[in-house]
Structure 1
Amino acid sequence: MLHGVDVSAYQASFETDGLDFVFIKATEGRSYINPRLAAQAKRARDAECVVGFYHFLWPGNITAQAEYFLSKAPEKAGELLAVDWEQNGEGTHASNAEKDRFIREVKRLRPHHKVLLYCNRYFWLNHDTTSYAGDEKPALARELGPIMSSMPACRASRRRHAVSAAPTRPSRSRWATSRSQAPHNAPRTILGVHP
């Protein structure tokens, strides 16, 4: 199994021992940027982890949000880009159409990067009606193994991991929760794929 964490501005530091990947919150909406973005990316790269950046999607202004995300997310070959699709602090969330439009716009603007959906299991099973997850199916945290094992820079690809292919829509019992419900100041552990 592959292991990684999701970090944001709440984490002044994080441990990289035993990690295969680190996903870093880059932006949110059209005005927020993670003030620790550069330092967190450097730490993950120095540890030879696969690095991904995500944008916390809000409803509305989808093209502007995609442009804002890409203006702030570092552009390095092989690094992943993702949309974090979940309920926001106001209790709303972007629609399926907005989520799909955001992924397609990011892919259009950065065609040589993998662009993925990043959401929790509940959202994926109960809110997603299109099953569009960008370059890979199913959603990011459920299919990380095949994505990363195909990347030459991935430490994990040099290890032996039992990673299996997954159906487009898994049964509810097949998957572990994709992101732990950790306190906001602790990195959230992301589990890879179960064999």
Structure 2
Amino acid sequence: MNRTVAGLAGATALAVFAAVVVATPARAGYALADTNYAGTQIARHEGVQGTPRADPPGQTLGHDVSGHQGPVDWAAAAGAGAKFTYVKATEGTGFVNPQFGQQYDGAHAAGIIRGAYHFARPDVSGGAEQAEYFIANGGGWRADGTTLPGALDIEYNPYGDVCYGKNPADLTAWIADFTRTYLAKVKRSALIYTSTAWWKQCTGNTARFGNTDPLWLARYGPDVGELPAGWEKQSIWQFARAGSLPGDQNYYNGPLGRVQALAKG
């Protein structure tokens, strides 16, 4: 092959490569996975309208954390009143929280009831596949009385279209695929973490999960506000963004005994 032909061949190859790169959507990657955590997109899209004026009676304080916070001082968190926490384990089928071990096991060692959550990516793979990935990377459950069932964090897409390019029927089917697989594999129903506004916009406000999957609601305001269709109450309310001890702030809707009951199954 002479230099001219080789040059043309090389140019053609580069052009094809460039076309593939341009055609491949950025959403297929995990560039933001280190900084995606429960509520990042909800706060960005819905804002913050305040916090509860005082601790609501009969509620139990807890937190949620992810890898961006680094190692957590769980002894300090327990000393400040934390009774439970959720830790980000995975995102899609291509990211595992590098701090998961310290955060998840550290909470347990400090006497805090803990569970894991999965940041949903309906744009990269199916619900069943992501449920299996989550379970394989820390999202399972065991009947030790200190482990909460896993949670599905489904919120505004940080990589593009807020509903992941899916219509309400398809996105509802994706969520059902995840929760059905989780239940079959773990024998517990997963919690669903979301906001009412996102749920209305992206699932058409389906009531399909209200009788099967406990609700973990995100709303940064003085009260819980309207719930998504199908749920008569929330199990957990994420009421504030990151605080000092540690991560985001949550109330379990009931006394500590109810948190313990959820852990025991």
- TM-score normalised to structure 1 length: 0.71
1:38 corresponds in structure 2 to 101
- Change in Cα spacing, 1:179 to 1:99, as seen in structure 2 (3 Å) is farther
2:151 is paired with a residue of what secondary structure? strand
User: Where does structure 1 lack aligned partners over 5 or more consecutive residues?
Assistant: 143-165
Provide the C-alpha distance between the structure 1 equivalents of 2:86 and 2:211, rounded to a whole number of angstroms: 16
**One-letter amino acid matched to 1:77:** R
Q: Which residue of 2 aligns with 1:123?
A: 198
Q: Any idea what SS the aligned residue of 1:178 has?
A: strand
Which of the two has higher C-alpha Rg? 2
Alignment RMSD, CA only? 3.2
Match of 2:115 among 42, 47, 52: 52
Amino acid of the structure 2 residue aligned with 1:189? Q
Q: Secondary structure at the match of 1:45?
A: helix
Distance 1:107 1:6 in 2: 22
For 1:68, the equivalent position in structure 2 comes to: 133
- Give the share of equivalent positions with the same residue, in percent: 25
Q: For residue 248 of structure 2, what is the aligned residue in structure 1?
A: 188
Q: Which residue of 2 aligns with 1:162?
A: none
Aligned AA for 1:116? L
- The unaligned stretches of length 5 or more in structure 2 are 1-58, 165-170, 219-226, 256-265
Q: Quickly say closer, same or farther: Cα 1:124–1:177, change in 2 above 3 A.
A: farther
1:11-70 per-position Cα deviation (integer Å, ceiling 9, x unaligned): 122433311111000000011000011111122101222211111111142222111111
* Secondary structure of the corresponding residue to residue 4 of structure 1: strand
- Aligned: 1:88 with 2:189: no
Q: In 2, are the aligned partners of 1:141 and 1:190 still within 8 Å (CA)?
A: no
Work out whether residues 180 and 190 of structure 1, in 8 Å CA contact, stay in contact via their aligned partners in 2.
yes
Shift of 1:106: 0.9
Q: Tell me the TM-score normalised to structure 2 length.
A: 0.54
- Using the TM superposition, give the Cα deviation of residue 99 of structure 1 relative to its aligned residue in structure 2, in angstroms: 1.3
8 Å Cα contact 1:81-1:115 kept in structure 2? yes
* CA distance in structure 1 between the aligned counterparts of 2:186 and 2:118, rounded to whole angstroms: 14
- Paired position in structure 2 for 1:4: 62
On the 8 A contact 1:25/1:55 being kept in 2, the answer is: yes
Structure 1: which 4+ aligned runs deviate by more than 6 Å? Answer: none
- Structure having the higher helix fraction is 2
- Distance in 1 (CA, whole Å) between partners of 2:173 and 2:127 is 10
Q: Which residue of 2 aligns with 1:178?
A: 238
- For 2:240, give the aligned amino acid: S
